[in-house]
Amino acid sequence: MKLIRIILTISICATALIGDYIVFKSKYSESLVFRAFADSTVHASIGFLSAVQFFSHEIGLTDQARLYNIAFCTIISSLIDVDHFIAARSFRLKDLTKVKERGIFHCTSYWILLKTVLLIYSHITRRLDIYILTFMLTLAYTSHHVRDANRRGLWLYPFGHTPPFSKYFYIFLLMILPSIFAYLYIVMKPAVHKQTVRYYDSIV
């Protein structure tokens, strides 16, 4: 398991470095369509690797549940960028470049609030499905926001934006956050009734 974690950590680092090069510095970077597609792919790949690294710890779910959760995290990591279209009120890529403000899915405070509500709810109801969903959302938005923070900082409404993160700092965060969240998952896990576990297995 340790070797897997080392390989995954290196893969996250390599994906971020190669991904940034392909998105911003390759010969196709001037194409908006290429950049949008490549950027989404890099976000999805990092979300995927983060979820796999998370599950390389002693999380204790069935293989099927892990697969569904990894797929969910991968999709959300990439889907966060749909708020560019919402902010631009247009599906044309050209209109996106004119938009100065960021959409709500890029607001880190929004996700922290949502996560806190879901965590409290999962503890009150002892719903393991909501608890794991909260961690998948957390992995998705942190990996996406931290990577975007290299260009624009984190948006911590109502306090404004942090300065942009340096390349090495953001990649370092991407590499360690999945393990930190896995540790938090284990120590904060609610005591679950047997019935709730059965319910979880039937839907995930």
Residue numbers of the site for Zn ion (CB under 5 A)?
Answer: 81, 148
**Residue with smallest beta-carbon separation from Zn ion:** 148
Q: Which CB atom, from 141 or from 181, has the smaller least distance to Zn ion?
A: 141
Q: How far is the CB of 37 from Zn ion (least distance, A)?
A: 14
Q: Which CB atom, from 81 or from 129, has the smaller least distance to Zn ion?
A: 81
Q: How far is the CB of 30 from Zn ion (least distance, A)?
A: 19
Q: How far is the CB of 76 from Zn ion (least distance, A)?
A: 12
Q: Which CB atom, from 129 or from 148, has the smaller least distance to Zn ion?
A: 148
Cβ proximity of 161 and 149 under 8 Å: no
Q: How far is the CB of 100 from Zn ion (least distance, A)?
A: 15
Q: Which CB atom, from 20 or from 81, has the smaller least distance to Zn ion?
A: 81
Q: How far is the CB of 198 from Zn ion (least distance, A)?
A: 38
Number of Cβ atoms within 10 Å of the Cβ of 128 = 22
Rounded Cα gap, residues 163 and 187, in angstroms: 32
Q: Which CB atom, from 49 or from 65, has the smaller least distance to Zn ion?
A: 49
**Amino acid letter for position 162:** T
Identify whether 158 is preceded by a cis peptide bond (ω within 30 of 0): yes
The closest alpha carbon to 93, from 31, 151, 20, belongs to: 31
